A and B are shown apart, each in its own frame.
Chain A
Amino acid sequence: MNDIIEYIFKRLLAGILVIFAVTALLFAIMQLMPGDAIELVSSPRVPAEKIEELRALWGLDKPVLVQYFYWLSRIIQGDFGTSIVSGQKVLLLIKERLPYTLMLTGGALIIQYIIAIPLGLIAAYKKDSVLDRSIVAFTIGFWSIPPFWLGILLMIIFGVWLKVLPISGFSGIKSIILPLMTMALPGLAGVLRLTRSEVLEVLRERYVETAYAKGMKRNSVLIKHVLRNALIPVTVMFFLNLPWTIGGSVVIETVFAWPGVGPLLWKSISSQDFPVVQGIIFIIAILTVISNILGDIFSSFLDPRVRQELKGEIV
């Protein structure tokens, strides 16, 4: 047990270190950008002394390192500043939109796992059957479709041709269907493939043979022995996938003009609204680090073999 606690502690420490590095990176990125915030918001007619005054007010006249600690202490308190474009508080802007993004990513992940796990199990159990082959073909196919194009295709089919679903924006429950399908399908292929290959691996284990030899029924072997063991990496992948899904949602949300964080990030990048860009990327980084740590912790709890390894050297 102590090993696990020590491991979690080390992971947390590493996570905090990574978040610090991300803040440094974000700050560096914004420092390297051409022009500063003042030049962006003020017109050339603003007198020079007024600009200097604003610079001092925003702390832009201080040395870079001082500015960084300034900025860091503010974002730790949750103050990401105000948007250069709209003048609104960045935290408020993100708070308004984050639920929509989480709704989409959460929903997509749930759909993926509900569909992919049983299908993966069946495909592996009936390896090389027609069903298995078509499932494998489906996964390779979906891996090759750019998610944003899948979104466009669904919009054309259901919105333009069949006219049954709204194609963009958010206007009630019907608008979530297309973005959700677009988000779920490509990831589903990945989970399906992983489940299949893990189940295949477990099916080769000796203890499965033993279970059959003991006279256990096929279904209970499949669920109690095979699925239980095969699901360990699949569960871990859930956490590792979460950030990827959020990353992917940036593009997909933009396709559907979904009121989430994605279009905000995209618009802010185009208009160089860097407080907003910093805020969004910082929050995504924290979500990523947390879900990576959760993935590691889960795998150490679920899999006694990993617990064994923990007693050795941890890098």
Chain B
Amino acid sequence: MKYLSILKDMIKNKTFMVGLFIFISVLILAVFADKIAPYSYDLINVQEKLLSPNEQYRFGTDQYGRDVMSRVIYGSRITLKVGLIVVAIETLIGVSLGLLAGYYGGYLEKFILFVTDLTWSLPPIIMALAIVTMLGPSLNNVIIAIAVVSWAQFTRIVRVKTQSIKSLSYIEAARAFGENDVGIMTRYILPNILSSIIVLSTLALPTAILSTTSLGFLGLGSQPPDPDWGLILKEGIAYMNQAPWISIFPGLAIVYTVLGFNLLGEGLRDIMDPRLKA
């Protein structure tokens, strides 16, 4: 019954529904990119370079005569993949550390909090730049860098929630029945904070996408000819005068996707965990 009422709340929540619609549309675009895109993302046609948007090339062509629309469509694959992997990693790190800190307390908690503070001692983008400098520019390293700098918010919230749950009597009862620490954390505490984690992860997704496209834009992520939206924008800057469409459409795609995830996250929060607000 609980799930049915959540489902009803979801359908009533306009923010959530618009976000869900956008998410599904991007997902379809990514999954069926090779069927939807009119051309391949790396099909070079020098004779038709820098054409403005027309019947044949809806978003125009770039400096190598590649179809900008096809590149944007294929790019959704990279964006979605990267966003989801980054959020999965940061959720995993953040939630485990938050559980440990909140459950055990003491020096372990102090140490984890210190490391959390440490990741906040530098602006995330700067920290990510430092890590990418160390590992070398590539999409995988950007994923690692962004995940490493952004797990701390999960830890902070999960720690506080764990603390408040662990003193409840049903945890006592579980312990009395011989449940061990790992069992209590994963089977008794985790399910109770799951809705917060889902909301936090959804809200982390747009941030992850913005950060990875920023690094892509700086040329530190995907390398040419990959149709990474950030990278296309970087390459487009040089042709801003003759071919502004190269710089416009991938940006619109980022805004559409990120806006969708923001709405999805805000909607989910209002439905599942309104107290997470602010």
Given A22-B122, A29-B131, A247-B124, 12 other A-B residues pairs in contact with their CB atoms under 8 A: A21-B118, A33-B134, A140-B262, A144-B258, A145-B251, A197-B278, A247-B123, A250-B126, A251-B125, A269-B220, A285-B122, A292-B120
**15 A-B contacts (beta carbon < 8 Å):** A18-B118, A22-B122, A29-B133, A144-B206, A144-B262, A148-B217, A149-B254, A156-B244, A194-B278, A243-B123, A246-B123, A254-B218, A281-B130, A285-B122, A288-B122
Q: Which residue of B lies closest to A233 (CB)?
A: B278
Q: Is the CB of B278 within 8 A of A285?
A: no
B110 close to chain A: CB less than 8 A? yes
Contact with B along A130-164 (1 / 0, CB 8 A): 00000000001101111111001101100110000
CA distance A141 to B109 in the complex (A): 38
Q: Which residue of A lies closest to B260 (CB)?
A: A144
Determine the main DSSP class of B at the interface with A.
Answer: helix
By size class, the interface of chain A is: 35 or more
Q: Is the CB of B123 within 8 A of A288?
A: yes
With contacts A250-B125, A266-B218, A269-B220 taken as known, whether A146 is within 8 angstroms of B251 at the C-beta atoms is yes
Q: Is the CB of B130 within 8 A of A26?
A: yes
B95 close to chain A: CB less than 8 A? no
List residues 113-142 of chain B with CB under 8 A from any CB of chain A: 113-114, 117-118, 120-126, 129-134, 136
Interface residues of A (CB under 8 A from B): 14, 17-19, 21-22, 25-26, 29-30, 32-34, 140-141, 143-149, 152-153, 155-156, 159-160, 167, 194, 197-198, 243-244, 246-248, 250-251, 254-255, 265-266, 269-270, 272, 274, 277, 281, 284-285, 288-289, 292, 315
CB neighbours (8 Å) of B241 from chain A are 160
Q: Is the CB of A149 within 8 A of B233?
A: yes
CA distance A247 to B251 in the complex (A): 20
Q: Quick one: which of B121, B214, B233, B240 has the most chain A CB within 10 A? A: B121
Q: Is the CB of B259 within 8 A of A255?
A: no
Q: Is the CB of B129 within 8 A of A265?
A: yes
CA distance A149 to B257 in the complex (A): 14
Interface residues of B (CB under 8 A from A): 109-110, 113-114, 117-118, 120-126, 129-134, 136, 206, 210, 213-214, 217-220, 230, 233, 236-237, 240-241, 244, 247-248, 251, 254-255, 258-259, 262-263, 266, 277-278
Q: Which residue of A lies closest to B115 (CB)?
A: A21
> What's the minimum C-beta distance from A127 to chain B, rounded to whole angstroms?
14
With contacts A32-B134, A194-B278, A250-B126 taken as known, whether A148 is within 8 angstroms of B120 at the C-beta atoms is no
CA distance A156 to B246 in the complex (A): 11
Q: Which of A17, A141, A244, A272 contacts B123 (CB 8 A)?
A: A244
Q: Is the CB of B240 within 8 A of A269?
A: no
Q: Which of A14, A33, A143, A272 contacts B206 (CB 8 A)?
A: A143
With contacts A255-B237, A315-B113 taken as known, whether A25 is within 8 angstroms of B254 at the C-beta atoms is no
Q: Which of A21, A148, A156, A265 contacts B214 (CB 8 A)?
A: A148
Q: Which of A14, A144, A197, A281 contacts B259 (CB 8 A)?
A: A144
Determine the main DSSP class of A at the interface with B.
Answer: helix
CB neighbours (8 Å) of B109 from chain A are 315
> What's the minimum C-beta distance from A94 to chain B, rounded to whole angstroms?
14
CA distance A248 to B113 in the complex (A): 25
Q: Quick one: which of A145, A149, A251, A284 has the most chain B CB within 10 A? A: A149
Q: Is the CB of A140 within 8 A of B129?
A: no
CA distance A123 to B11 in the complex (A): 27
CA distance A247 to B230 in the complex (A): 17
Q: Which of A21, A32, A156 contacts B248 (CB 8 A)?
A: A156
> What's the minimum C-beta distance from A126 to chain B, rounded to whole angstroms?
20
CA distance A153 to B248 in the complex (A): 7
* Closest 4 A/B residue pairs (Cβ): A247-B123, A149-B251, A144-B259, A144-B258
Q: Is the CB of A152 within 8 A of B121?
A: no
Q: Which residue of A lies closest to B120 (CB)?
A: A292
CA distance A145 to B244 in the complex (A): 18
> What's the minimum C-beta distance from B35 to chain A, rounded to whole angstroms?
27
> What's the minimum C-beta distance from B16 to chain A, rounded to whole angstroms?
13
Q: Which residue of B lies closest to A277 (CB)?
A: B133
CA distance A258 to B89 in the complex (A): 35
Q: Is the CB of A250 within 8 A of B251?
A: no
> What's the minimum C-beta distance from B121 to chain A, rounded to whole angstroms?
5
Q: Which of B121, B129, B134, B236 contacts A18 (CB 8 A)?
A: B121
CA distance A100 to B212 in the complex (A): 26
CB neighbours (8 Å) of A274 from chain B are 133
> What's the minimum C-beta distance from B187 to chain A, rounded to whole angstroms?
28
CA distance A146 to B229 in the complex (A): 11
CA distance A160 to B258 in the complex (A): 27
